[in-house]
Structure 1
């Protein structure tokens, strides 16, 4: 891994006091007061997260790593464009990427792990599809907010750049690619280009893609479902979202990846897209997007880890190479 060039803001000695002052100012502006000290929930290489109890309910604070500061502007924009499925934003600090938001419900993870939770996924996946469809017209605005541009026309070039980033691929290191795997991936570049062209041929609009719609990033309340944690997103093919979603649902709910329950979730997600293509074509597009989406995940992990101290990222370093290995495996399987 290359020498670290990026310092995480929360590593600075005065960071907590600085955010505490900002939080209290913003709460006061909204007529809220703290009931207890601010509680720091986690600090990870890509974000820090805190919660606080106020006289008007729970409030949450998020600070992204520098690579994800666009999340603040995006979250605010979504609260304006699609308030029904976004967290209620109290304040943002764009230069730092800080987000202060009101409580929006309970995570699906907190609701439980039994298969009765499938009903929630039946309901929320079409809602997420509709959100993507509605936001397709806002692609220029999304790109202006600074979101990564991973549209299919650019994707082969991004793949080539990733393969040239030997530092993040950790070639011939314990958590990286082998030289043989790297060479195989290099040889697959024309295939990736063909796959991108084939996927584009289905005519589905590229749009906002949340890459981690899973049980801990969806909130449920009386008002419905809310999607959170928009740092890991891009403007890309909409079906890239399903790579993590289907895997996460299978893992969390203990579903057979080839079983009828997971097919039911695929069906729920795809139904709104039938306005663009017949169902059989949508199934084919999702199968192809699932493959390319593995490369997209490698790009996202590279974005998250690039330039950080290896001591901070050691538990995650294998994700860039790991997703590329998954793509290679599915290609080799035919």
Structure 2
């Protein structure tokens, strides 16, 4: 299912010009913008920079009807429909979601890249990031990534991980400390849907990094990496509005303190957790594998990552890889019972995911909330299911 897109156009001052006729694009993911920009150019002869989501249909993402606000820098020859944006001035609006915002970030990136032969292509924009590909001679050379304040730890973390495993992370060419980063291009293919053998390679790549940071948690925290070690109060706060509507959630929250204590007793040390370690966030080339998108990274239990990495594998293959991972941890932390920890932490991982999504909702503007509104109750329900396995 693709998207039916309506672009509401504004000029550089933010004055609304009107809406283009709706058009269809194949990719259903609301945050993916490259095909929207291309369709506006080829179908309507309009060059646009997409700023943010305005509205979406009743269905949760992906797909369906969506409308975006987009800036133009030249006169528009296509017919436009009048559009009243109201008086929406959210204090939570991202700096790249306002007229002139993307252009300012591109000027920053290009000045640091120090080249005058670069063409910028918008790839993604939503409440969690704005991403531009920077090409020279038709070949990608770098990427501009801008993230909100709650992900601003990503660039300093990449530099910290590069000290231990430089081949495993993108090179940070520049960062402004406020969410903008200029990253060297990483060649290769994102490995969505990869098989168990590839997931095992990723696990082997990342395990030494996690062992490295078991004794350096203070360095991670000093770099701004969020501390997501057990926070029963936060999990309880997120679950509270749903305890009467998500069947079994009340019972899970009642037994949660005992479950957390049992996980602690397994002796698995806290360390760096990527937070979203699925194969699609790993790019592979002949040179090896590079792990991308570290915004969800935190200090936490390493079992979170192996569960995410094996989430889409057949049950037997997932169990085998978790068993191998547990053997690695028994060598790194003698006496620990990593396999039991991973089994016990499954529902906690889902509760943690619900809390992360609630954090997003608490920090983004109203029009962007459809991206995540369904995620909190879905993850809470998944936590109950995981506890019953």
- TM surpasses 0.5: yes
* Residue of structure 1 aligned with 2:146, choices 58, 63, 68: 63
Ranked by relative contact order (alpha carbons within 8 Å, sequence separation 6 or more), the top structure is 1
User: Whole-Å Cα distance in 2 between the matches of residues 81 and 129 of structure 1?
Assistant: 12
Q: Does structure 1 residue 203 correspond to structure 2 residue 259?
A: no
| 1:126 corresponding residue in structure 2 | 204
User: Whole-Å Cα distance in 2 between the matches of residues 303 and 145 of structure 1?
Assistant: 20
User: Whole-Å Cα distance in 2 between the matches of residues 52 and 270 of structure 1?
Assistant: 41
| 2:234 corresponding residue in structure 1 | 158
Structure 1's unaligned 5+ residue stretches are 167-176, 251-255
User: Whole-Å Cα distance in 2 between the matches of residues 122 and 330 of structure 1?
Assistant: 23
User: Whole-Å Cα distance in 2 between the matches of residues 269 and 49 of structure 1?
Assistant: 33
Q: Does structure 1 residue 84 correspond to structure 2 residue 167?
A: yes
Q: Count the aligned residue pairs.
A: 299
| 1:229 corresponding residue in structure 2 | 293
Structure 2's unaligned 5+ residue stretches are 1-88
Q: Map 1:28-39 to 2 at 5 A.
A: 28=114, 32-35=115-118, 37-39=119-121
User: Whole-Å Cα distance in 2 between the matches of residues 306 and 293 of structure 1?
Assistant: 20
CA contact (8 A) 1:240 1:289 kept: yes
Q: 1:57 to 1:191 in 2, by over 3 A?
A: same
User: Whole-Å Cα distance in 2 between the matches of residues 46 and 80 of structure 1?
Assistant: 26
| 2:244 corresponding residue in structure 1 | 179
CA contact (8 A) 2:199 2:309 kept: no
- Give TM-score scaled by structure 1 length: 0.81
User: Whole-Å Cα distance in 2 between the matches of residues 123 and 33 of structure 1?
Assistant: 39
| 2:105 corresponding residue in structure 1 | 19
Q: 1:33 to 1:265 in 2, by over 3 A?
A: farther
Q: Deviations over 1:7-38 (max 9, x none)?
A: 1122111111101111111111xxx4434x21
| 1:148 corresponding residue in structure 2 | 226
| 2:338 corresponding residue in structure 1 | 282
Q: Which moved more, 1:193-202 or 1:306-315?
A: 306-315
Q: Which has the higher strand share?
A: 2
Q: Which has the higher helix share?
A: 1
Q: Deviations over 1:170-221 (max 9, x none)?
A: xxxxxxx473438x53554342111111111111110111111112211223
Q: CA RMSD in A?
A: 2.5
CA contact (8 A) 2:273 2:302 kept: yes
Q: Does structure 1 residue 323 correspond to structure 2 residue 379?
A: yes
- Give TM-score scaled by structure 2 length: 0.70
CA contact (8 A) 1:240 1:296 kept: no
| 2:352 corresponding residue in structure 1 | 296
Q: 1:138 to 1:208 in 2, by over 3 A?
A: same
* Residue of structure 2 aligned with 1:263, choices 316, 319, 327: 319
Q: Secondary structure at the match of 1:306?
A: helix
Q: Secondary structure at the match of 1:38?
A: strand
The Cα of 1:4 is off from its aligned counterpart by 6.1
Decide which structure has the larger Cα Rg and report it.
2
User: Whole-Å Cα distance in 2 between the matches of residues 107 and 324 of structure 1?
Assistant: 33
Structure 1 stretches of 4+ moved >4 Å = none
Q: Deviations over 1:85-116 (max 9, x none)?
A: 1111111110x211111122323337xx5x7x
